[in-house]
């Protein structure tokens, strides 16, 4: 019987496992890197151990450090979570050999399913249909025989890492090298397989559980078709495309694959499903999935609790015939990334993290207001899971929760998530793995510059009213007689001309034509300002970030993030005497994100074309290319492979073609 459980993971999934383990009466141990020292999950455990520096190889991916943490804390069981070492057979074997309980499948099953080529062969042997593929030495000739487009897939992992779609023979070599680099960085193994690319399928997976007594059951399916860069963004259960007969066939196929390798514990068998209901085996993930909460919602089961029961040798608590699926559940993943910049990861401080607890909504997160999002790990901030008796109700609840969610201080995919759940194609259930392209998403969210400027001006007035008791006539935010403030968002500006009143202010904004608003200001409680705007009562959430740390009132250069209820804005107060702005020098290439330089493809003197790949950066386990902004000649290269860089660092300087004589 387990007494002390160490969770060999971080952030959201660590918090999730720790919660269930604590509910079962287990003593809990968290591990953390230096970068994660202040995350909430660390404080949630009974004991926490620092593994080392931030890079994964020196912390969460180091088996010996984790085993030493278990020894020091007296842990007698290890739960790997997902990612990191969760599908590492050698680590599982080392845990077992150390006399500890491994909360996961047998090492042999991990090896069998972790090798995508071997998993395909097992599926074929047990009459489970597969996508045509090639598992020998990858080559352009093998790809041509399958027929372009083809998919290059990492043998050792998933989550979209080490995966590339290749459209033509000319692009194959570059895509293969990139996929292998990414796979090696993420999984320590650069082996890949080739598969024929299936156009427009649904991605549907089946949750299975098996115990040590030989019983194997499935818990229904999850629809995971809404993806970006081969990574899931929205998941739901059940799937609109799966009727009871198809569910039974897919479930039986998934259980056959699991039984074939002597599986024990939680696993997920992934399939592609075409428009005719035919399904094809993709892979088996030998761990708990990020999206497991939607299965919990429609089955009423705690899947982590099931894992712990099975690890202690208990039989499955239900048979296949006893499984009941009720209602609908949808999960949205909130990522620190910019969908409008090819999903570039974002890093920085979460000035606020507000995720509303609404009826029928569950929040899973590993972060809190003030947490830092580092460049070393996955970019997921939180998961929002909405449930209901039907898909329409679950969708409405999820949309409302996403509209209320707020993470000022960092770029997130929240606008994209709202666009997805409010899209006609989503409501019609017309899903496939090309959903975002067909829906023409992402779209730029509304800037809300004028409303944001109005709210920020009201904040400045409310601050001074709270401090001084009233706002004297003629008062300006800066104490001058002129009652006008200019606010900036990006390269756009708007001026608010305003006059204080006994209970608020009168503000005129815009010029084509100008619009005058009457504002009655209620209490400013923390970051929430009660407002009556033109006779309509509302509530604005405001996050004020001073340009200088020693100020108590809104001033020049300060930034205000605003949640308007039905949208967001952020504005900066423009100084009356602005210093000369920085001008981007033509021909310069700056780092789009913090990260590590993987590859430098040019040298001084090289001639390049517009759009040519110059540098490859790794950030949050994904590769990002820096392209030439224009044609020219390389005059300076400031970085080398292995360098750590920050966003905005100058990487390469070019002399544009038109400047040459």
Among 306-315, 331-340, 560-569, which is the least confidently predicted range? 560-569
CATH 3.40.50.20 assigned to 4-103: yes
329 pLDDT exceeds 70? yes
Q: Which range among 72-86, 166-180, 586-600, 616-630 shows the weakest confidence by mean pLDDT?
A: 616-630
Of 63, 58, 47, nearest in space to 8 by CA: 63
Contacts of 79 (CB under 8 A, 6+ apart): 5, 6, 7, 8, 9, 17, 21, 103, 104, 304, 307, 308
| Alpha-carbon gap, residue 388 to 385, rounded angstroms | 10
Residue 122: how many other CB atoms lie within 10 Å: 19
Report the pLDDT value the prediction gives residue 468, as an integer from 0 to 100: 61
Domain layout of the chain by residue ranges: 4-103, 137-181+190-196, 202-438, 449-573, 588-659
**What is the torsional sign of CA 596, 138, 192, 334?**
positive
Give pairs for 242-248: CB < 8 Å, separation 24+: 242/204, 242/273, 246/273, 246/277, 246/279, 247/220, 247/221
Checking if the pLDDT of 469 tops 80, the result is no
CATH numeric code, 137-181+190-196:
3.30.1490.20
For helices 303-311 and 11-23, angle between their N-to-C axes, nearest 10 degrees: 60
Average predicted confidence (pLDDT) for the chain: 92
Say yes or no: do domains 4-103 and 202-438 share a fold. Answer: no
Residues 340-345 have a mean pLDDT of 92
Reference 559, options 405, 452, 649, 448; nearest CA is 452
Provide φ and ψ at 571, rounded to 5°.
-135, 155
Ramachandran angles phi, psi of 635, nearest 5°: -105, -20
Residue in the block written with tokens 């290439």: 589
Q: Residues 187, 146: contact at Cβ < 8 Å? A: no
User: Mean pLDDT throughout 82-103?
Assistant: 98
The more confident residue out of 258 and 661 is 258
* pLDDT at res. 502: 87
Span 113-137, pLDDT tens digits: 998 889 999 999 999 999 888 888 8
Mean pLDDT along residues 204-229: 98
Q: Answer yes or no: is pLDDT of 624 > 90.
A: no
Provide the CB-side half-sphere exposure for 103 (13 A, CA).
26
- Provide the β-strand partners of residue 539: 530
127: exposed, middle or buried (Cβ count in 10 Å: 0-12, 13-18, 19+): exposed
Q: What is the pLDDT of residue 471?
A: 52
Q: Where are the alpha helices (DSSP H) in 60-208?
A: 63-73, 89-97, 107-114, 116-125, 140-146, 172-187
Pairing of strands 150-154, 163-166: antiparallel
H-state helical runs in 405-547: 414-421, 424-427, 435-438, 449-468
Q: State residue 133's pLDDT score.
A: 85
Is cis: bond before 452, omega within 30 of 0? Answer: no
User: What is the pLDDT, as a whole number, of residue 480?
Assistant: 43
pLDDT in tens, 37-83: 999 999 999 999 999 999 999 999 999 999 999 999 999 999 999 99
Residue by residue, DSSP assigns 26-85 as -EEEEEEEGGGTTSHHHHHSSEEEEEESSSGGGTTT-HHHHHHHHHHHT--EEE--SSTT
**For residue 222, which of 267, 270, 156 has the smallest C-alpha distance?**
270
Per-residue tokens: 461? 């007035």
Task: Give the residue from 431, 486, 77, 68 showing the smallest Cα distance to 240.
Answer: 431
Q: Pull the structure tokens for residue 582.
A: 């920085």
Distance of CA 397 to the CA centre of its chain: 20
Q: Give the up-direction half-sphere exposure of residue 400: CA atoms within 13 A in the CB hemisphere.
A: 15
The rounded distance, in Å, linking the Cα atoms of 462 and 430 is 48
Distance of alpha carbon 128 from alpha carbon 367, whole angstroms: 41
Closest CA to 628 of 566, 574, 586: 586
Q: Give the Cα separation of 527 and 563 in Å (integer).
A: 10
**Distance between CA 417 and CA 435 in Å, rounded?**
13
CATH 2.40.50.100 fits 588-659, yes or no: yes
The pLDDT of residue 578: 45
- The answer to whether 70 and 29 are in contact (CB under 8 A) is yes
Whole-prediction pTM: 0.85
Top-ranked range on mean pLDDT: pick from 90-94, 132-136, 554-558, 616-620: 90-94
Q: What is the pLDDT of residue 155?
A: 83
Mean pLDDT, rounded, for 205-216: 98
On the CB side of 17, CA atoms within 13 Å amount to: 28
Q: Would you state the pLDDT for residue 326?
A: 98
User: What percentage of the chain reaches a pLDDT higher than 70?
Assistant: 95
The Cα 346–Cα 336 span in angstroms is 5
Q: Any idea what DSSP says for residue 128?
A: -
Q: In 3D, which of 158, 380, 174 has the Cα closest to residue 286?
A: 158
Distance CA 624, CA 345 (A): 9
Lowest mean pLDDT among 14-23, 56-65, 463-472, 510-519: 463-472
Span 344-380, pLDDT tens digits = 999 999 999 999 989 999 999 999 999 999 999 999 9
Q: Compute the average pLDDT of residues 492-511.
A: 91
Element (H, E) at 257: helix 244-260
Over residues 596-622, mean pLDDT: 88
Query: Can you give the pLDDT at residue 200?
Result: 87
Give the residue, 659 or 13, on which the prediction is more confident.
13
Contact 427, 419 (CB under 8 A): no
Average pLDDT over residues 208-221: 99
Q: Is the pLDDT of residue 478 over 70?
A: no
| pLDDT tens, position by position, 561-596 | 999 988 899 999 998 654 444 445 678 898 888 888
Q: 575 or 475: which carries more pLDDT confidence?
A: 575
pLDDT in tens, 289-309: 999 999 999 999 999 999 999
Q: pLDDT tens digits, residue range 237-254?
A: 999 999 999 999 999 999
Give percent of the chain with pLDDT exceeding 90: 77
Q: Does residue 643 have a pLDDT over 70?
A: yes
pLDDT of residue 473: 47
How far is Cα 543 from Cα 459, in angstroms, rounded to an integer? 10
DSSP secondary structure letter of residue 316:
P
The whole-number pLDDT of residue 397 equals: 99
Candidate CATH numbers 3.40.50, 3.30.70, 3.30.700, 1.10.3470; the one for domain 449-573: 3.30.700
Q: Where does 202-438 sit in CATH, by number? A: 3.30.470.20
């Amino acid at each position: 019987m387990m007494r002390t459980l160490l969770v060999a993971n971080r952030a959201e999934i660590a918090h999730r496992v720790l919660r269930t383990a604590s509910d079962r009466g287990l003593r809990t141990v968290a591990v953390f890197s230096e970068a994660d020292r202040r995350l909430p999950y660390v404080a949630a455990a009974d004991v926490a151990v620092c593994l080392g520096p931030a890079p994964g190889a020196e912390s969460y991916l180091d088996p010996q450090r984790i085993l030493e943490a278990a020894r020091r804390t007296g842990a007698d069981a290890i739960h790997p979570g997902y990612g990191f070492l969760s599908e590492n057979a050698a680590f599982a074997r080392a845990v077992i050999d150390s006399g500890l309980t491994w909360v996961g499948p047998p090492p042999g099953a991990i090896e069998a399913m972790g090798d995508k080529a071997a998993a395909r062969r097992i599926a074929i042997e047990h009459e489970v249909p597969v996508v045509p593929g090639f598992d020998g030495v990858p080559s352009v000739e093998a790809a041509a025989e399958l027929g372009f487009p083809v998919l290059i897939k990492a043998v050792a992992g998933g989550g979209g890492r080490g995966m590339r779609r290749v459209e033509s023979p000319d692009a194959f070599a570059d895509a293969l090298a990139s996929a292998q680099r990414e796979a090696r960085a993420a999984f320590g193994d650069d082996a890949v397989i080739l598969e024929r690319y299936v156009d427009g399928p649904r991605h549907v997976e089946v949750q299975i559980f098996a115990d040590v007594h030989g019983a194997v059951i499935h818990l229904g399916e999850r629809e995971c078709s809404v993806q970006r860069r081969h990574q899931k963004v929205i998941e739901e259960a059940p799937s609109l495309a799966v009727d009871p007969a198809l569910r039974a066939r897919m479930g039986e196929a998934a259980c056959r694959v699991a039984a074939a390798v002597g599986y024990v514990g939680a696993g997920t068998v992934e399939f592609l499903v075409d428009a005719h209901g035919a399904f094809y085996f993709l892979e088996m993930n030998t761990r708990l999935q990020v999206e497991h909460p939607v299965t919990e919602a429609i089955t009423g089961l705690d899947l982590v609790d099931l894992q712990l029961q099975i690890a202690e040798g208990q039989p499955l608590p239900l048979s296949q015939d006893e499984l009941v699926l009720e209602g609908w559940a949808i999960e949205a993943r909130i990522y620190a990334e910019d969908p409008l910049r090819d999903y570039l990861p974002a890093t920085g401080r979460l000035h606020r993290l507000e995720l509303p607890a609404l009826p029928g909504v569950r929040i899973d997160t590993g972060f809190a207001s003030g947490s830092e999002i580092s460049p070393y790990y996955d970019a997921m901030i939180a998961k929002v899971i909405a449930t209901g008796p039907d898909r329409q109700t679950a969708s409405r609840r999820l949309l409302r929760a996403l509209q209320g969610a707020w993470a000022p201080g960092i770029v997130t995919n929240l606008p994209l998530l709202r666009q997805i759940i409010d899209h006609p194609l989503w409501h019609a259930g017309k899903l496939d793995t090309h959903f975002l392209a067909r829906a023409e998403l992402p779209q730029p969210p509304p800037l809300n510059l004028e409303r944001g400027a109005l709210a920020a001006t009201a904040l400045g007035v409310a601050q001074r009213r709270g401090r001084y008791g009233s706002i004297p006539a003629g008062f300006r935010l800066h104490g001058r007689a002129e009652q006008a403030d200019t606010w900036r968002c990006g390269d756009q500006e708007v001026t608010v001309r305003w006059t204080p009143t006994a209970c608020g202010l009168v503000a005129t904004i815009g010029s084509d034509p100008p619009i005058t608003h009457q504002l009655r200001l209620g209490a400013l409680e923390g970051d929430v300002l009660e407002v009556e705007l033109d006779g309509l009562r509302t509530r604005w959430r405001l996050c004020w970030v001073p340009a200088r740390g020693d100020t108590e009132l809104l001033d020049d250069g300060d930034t205000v993030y605003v949640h308007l209820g039905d949208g967001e804005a952020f504005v900066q107060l423009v100084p009356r005497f602005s210093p000369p702005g920085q001008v981007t020098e033509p021909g310069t290439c700056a780092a789009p994100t913090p990260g590590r330089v993987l590859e430098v493809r040019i040298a001084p003197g090289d001639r390049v074309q517009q759009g040519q790949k110059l540098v490859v950066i790794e950030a949050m386990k994904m590769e990002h290319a820096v392209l030439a902004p224009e044609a020219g000649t390389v005059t300076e290269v400031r970085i080398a492979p292995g360098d750590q860089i920050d966003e905005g660092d100058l990487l390469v300087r070019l002399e544009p073609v038109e400047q040459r004589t």
